[in-house]
């Protein structure tokens, strides 16, 4: 990337606070029910997509060597676990206690919350798990625990980043593979590969897989802890609602995974190793509004090329450097649910 494509300054931290708009929307939905429950998906899918069409694409990137203090960018990540905790369990209290919400309103409210848990919570967790601090990894695990998908940290860091674009990576969607086939394949495959990776790691240092240094203990504890809170607040119905939003969250995570590497492969070299991961091994999207909502998750080409780079410093690539998605993730997620349309757009 040439110097003329650098912007002098990175976007201010407040511009990445767009996901926090979901909080008042969800509270509004619990009090009024009805059509207000649609406000969260309308904001996340429709409004953001319209903004993507209105705001012109730019390939200007911040200087990756910028010495800007990133404290406030990190602070956004640090406070979200508490906000998400409040949102989820307030929703469970609402659907368990508020008489004005019908059963269908309860279900759709938890689905809306699950969308937020997936689109915001797991996206923030993804950024946190890439940090070196153990405290930030704990925050990532807490967020993933609210989706009962803690093993994602192991799978993502130790498997996906190593084997992306190869047959060894379950998360790399195969060419012509539908999302539904991908989803059914990736759920058990990722759990299995994460478990194998951790047990192998422990064996190398002379520990058994049952040792408390196995992070699966942490993953399991957090999942049980949140299920217990759900039961205390809403009984069996509370657990069911928590599981429902967790499923929707995981669905959103895997839809993003499906989009990010669909059909892309790394070459196997003569020495038996795969070529280094380059920007062209991930789909890139420079759409402004959806990148603000998803804290630059769509700049996935640079994330895989430089996994340690902080989200406000991620670089944008043009179509000479990386394959470009025609739309931002919100619209691409909708498209991936229609396999024939997906293939027509992507292939």
pLDDT in tens, 28-46: 999 999 999 999 999 999 9
What's the Cα-to-Cα distance from 29 to each of 40, 49, 90, 99, rounded to whole Å? 9, 22, 11, 14
Q: Give the whole-angstrom CA distance, residue 281 versus residue 130.
A: 19
In 3D space, the residue among 226, 259, 79, 63 whose CA is nearest the CA of residue 144 turns out to be 226
Q: Give the whole-angstrom CA distance, residue 154 versus residue 214.
A: 10
CB of 113 closer than 8 Å to CB of 91? yes
Q: Which residue has the tokens 């939905």?
A: 29
What's the Cα-to-Cα distance from 41 to each of 93, 131, 155, 208, rounded to whole Å? 21, 30, 28, 45
pLDDT the model gives residue 1: 47
- Indicate if the alpha-carbon torsion angle 132, 138, 144, 149 is positive or negative: positive
Predicted structure pTM score: 0.95
Neighbours of 263 (CB within 10 A): 16
Q: Give the whole-angstrom CA distance, residue 106 versus residue 100.
A: 10
pLDDT the model gives residue 58: 80
pLDDT the model gives residue 2: 44
Would you call 174 helix, strand, or coil by DSSP? coil
For strand 6-7 and strand 61-62, is the pairing parallel, antiparallel, or unpaired?
parallel
Q: Give the whole-angstrom CA distance, residue 9 versus residue 85.
A: 33
pLDDT the model gives residue 165: 96
CB of 309 closer than 8 Å to CB of 302? yes
Q: Name residues of the chain where pLDDT drops below 50.
A: 1-4
Neighbours of 89 (CB within 10 A): 19
């Amino acid at each position: 990337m040439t110097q003329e494509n650098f912007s002098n300054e990175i976007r201010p931290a407040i511009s990445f606070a767009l996901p926090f708009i979901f909080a008042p929307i969800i509270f509004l939905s619990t009090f009024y029910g009805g059509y207000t429950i649609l406000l969260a998906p309308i904001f996340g899918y429709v409004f953001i997509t319209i903004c993507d069409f209105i705001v012109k694409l730019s390939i200007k990137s911040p200087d990756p060597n910028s010495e800007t203090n990133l404290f406030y960018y990190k602070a956004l990540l640090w406070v979200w676990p508490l906000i998400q905790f409040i949102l989820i369990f307030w929703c469970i209290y609402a659907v368990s206690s508020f008489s004005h919400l019908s059963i269908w309103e309860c279900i759709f409210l938890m689905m809306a919350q699950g969308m937020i848990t997936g689109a915001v919570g797991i996206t923030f967790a993804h950024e946190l798990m890439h940090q070196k601090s153990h405290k930030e990894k704990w925050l990532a695990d807490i967020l993933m625990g609210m989706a009962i998908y803690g093993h994602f940290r192991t799978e993502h860091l130790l498997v996906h980043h190593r084997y992306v674009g190869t047959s060894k990576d379950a998360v790399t969607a195969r060419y012509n593979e539908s999302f539904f086939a991908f989803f059914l394949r990736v759920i058990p495959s990722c759990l299995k590969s994460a478990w194998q990776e951790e047990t192998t790691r422990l064996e190398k240092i002379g520990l058994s897989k049952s040792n408390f240094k196995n992070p699966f203990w942490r993953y399991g504890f957090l999942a049980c802890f949140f299920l217990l809170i759900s039961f205390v607040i809403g009984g069996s119905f509370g657990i069911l609602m928590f599981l429902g939003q967790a499923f929707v969250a995981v669905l959103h995570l895997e839809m993003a995974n499906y989009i990010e590497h669909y059909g892309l492969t790394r070459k196997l070299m003569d020495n038996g190793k795969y070529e280094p991961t380059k920007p062209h091994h991930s789909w890139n999207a420079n759409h402004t509004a959806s990148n603000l909502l998803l804290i630059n998750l769509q700049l996935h080409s640079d994330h895989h090329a430089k996994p340690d780079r902080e989200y406000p410093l991620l670089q944008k690539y043009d179509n000479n450097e990386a394959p470009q998605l025609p739309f931002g993730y919100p619209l691409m997620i909708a498209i991936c649910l229609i396999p024939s349309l997906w293939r027509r757009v992507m292939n």
